[in-house]
Amino acid sequence: MSGAPRGLTVPALRTRKGAGPPIVAVTAYDAFHGQLLAEAGVDIALVGDSLGMVVQGQETTLPVTLDEMVYHTRMVGRGAAGRTFLLADLPFGSYQISPEEAVRSALRLVKEGGAQAVKLEGGEDYLRHVEALVSSMVPVVGHLGLLPQRVHAMGGYRVAGRTPQEGDRILREAQSLVAAGIFALVLEGVPRELAARITREIPVPVVGIGAGPDTDGQVLVIHDLLGWTPEERRPRFARGFADGRGEALRALGAYSRAVKDRQFPSEEESFHRHAP
Ligand code: KIV
């Protein structure tokens, strides 16, 4: 991305709290996705570390490296060309050790990847990290609820905040993150009632995923929403808005048959020694 963004900015996103249409966010991993999202008028392209699972075929997001995040962020930014807000995840292992490490990693995502903001998972343990990032002029989005980078500590991917104590803790963490300087919060895999309460109680936009309909916006993984994820592997909360996988399989089948039947390429699709 070069030059000033033509799409949404941090101040513009802030004003969407409780006003205007809900924020529309979708994950993106390459220039093609960036282009699609920009053309569709999506507000935020999230270069999520979910790319470890949906692009790289890994079991978790943990192996994704900062270099890979920088590479994918740059590609998405090239496709979106400033027309969609570009948000990038700080991957596991790129910020946990210290606030300084978080700043160093985030600066790479901004300088080399073109990210307009970064997202990190966690609450109380990362308040100093968020403060350091904000002081370094890197806008930050928080991420609470189900935290995929904590898959081992959690013993799997489970809905978070089901008990009143857990719910209160997540709300307190959201408030602390706001005090530390986040300008938006992603809330993943929490009961609808808790998401609604947190959305009411904090002054920054809450973007939900598996958090019910009452947040200030929604985010989905592009493979889920376009129907590329096999249905049996798509989470219950992730509606497929197209049958991308079915369409792709039909097209690949048709191409294979045409090649085998020598129906492709046709005369019109062939070159000749002398142009007509
Ligand atoms: O990595 C990701 O795609 C995310 C979304 C699921 C919010 O963080």
237-267 pLDDT, tens digit per residue, is 999 999 999 999 999 999 999 999 999 999 9
Helices (H) and strands (E) in the chain, counts: 11, 8
pTM, rounded to two decimals = 0.96
Task: Give the residue, out of 89, 147, 151, with the most ligand 1 atoms within 8 A of its beta carbon, to mutate for a pocket test.
Answer: 89
pLDDT value, residue 276: 63
- Looking at the DSSP bridge assignments, the partners of residue 143 are 121, 186
Residues 6+ apart with CB under 8 A from 92: 49, 61, 62, 64, 149
pLDDT value, residue 20: 85
Q: Which of 59, 124, 131, 188 is catalytic?
A: 188
Are 264 and 258 within 8 A, CB to CB? yes
Q: How confident is the model at residue 6 (pLDDT cuts 50, 70, 90)?
A: confident
Q: Which atom of ligand 1 is nearest to the CA of 48?
A: 1
Average pLDDT score over the chain: 96
Is residue 101 among the annotated active site residues? no
Q: How confident is the model at residue 55 (pLDDT cuts 50, 70, 90)?
A: very high
pLDDT at 24 over 90: yes
CA of 86 to the centre of ligand 1 (A): 13
Task: Give the residue, out of 29, 49, 223, with the most ligand 1 atoms within 8 A of its beta carbon, to mutate for a pocket test.
Answer: 49
Q: Which amino acid is at 160?
A: A
Q: How confident is the model at residue 4 (pLDDT cuts 50, 70, 90)?
A: low
* Terminal Cα-to-Cα distance of the chain (whole angstroms): 42
Please indicate whether residue 20 or residue 181 has the higher confidence score (pLDDT). 181
pLDDT tens figures, 28-43: 999 999 999 999 999 9
Q: Which atom of ligand 1 is nearest to the CA of 209?
A: 7
pLDDT at 99 over 90: yes
pLDDT value, residue 134: 98
pLDDT value, residue 274: 81
Q: For 163-175, what is the mean pLDDT?
A: 98
Tokens of 65: 């490296």
- Looking at the DSSP bridge assignments, the partners of residue 208 are 187, 218
Are 70 and 109 within 8 A, CB to CB? yes
Reduced to 3 states, what is the DSSP secondary structure of residue 163?
Answer: coil
Q: For 102-124, what is the mean pLDDT?
A: 98
Q: Which atom of ligand 1 is nearest to the CA of 219?
A: 7
List the alpha helices (DSSP H) in 112-163.
Answer: 127-135, 151-154
CA of 246 to the centre of ligand 1 (A): 24
CA distances from 212 to 2, 113, 194, 242 (A): 36, 32, 9, 21
Q: Which atom of ligand 1 is nearest to the CA of 188?
A: 7
pLDDT value, residue 1: 47
Backbone angles phi, psi at 28, to 5 degrees: -150, 145
CATH of region 10-243, choose from 3.40.50.2300, 3.20.20.60, 3.90.1170.50, 3.30.43.10: 3.20.20.60
pLDDT tens figures, 185-233: 999 999 999 999 999 999 999 999 999 999 999 999 999 999 999 989 8
CA of 49 to the centre of ligand 1 (A): 6
CA of 46 to the centre of ligand 1 (A): 7
Q: What span, in angstroms and rounded, lies between the C-alpha atoms of 74 and 68?
A: 10
Tokens of 237: 């909360």
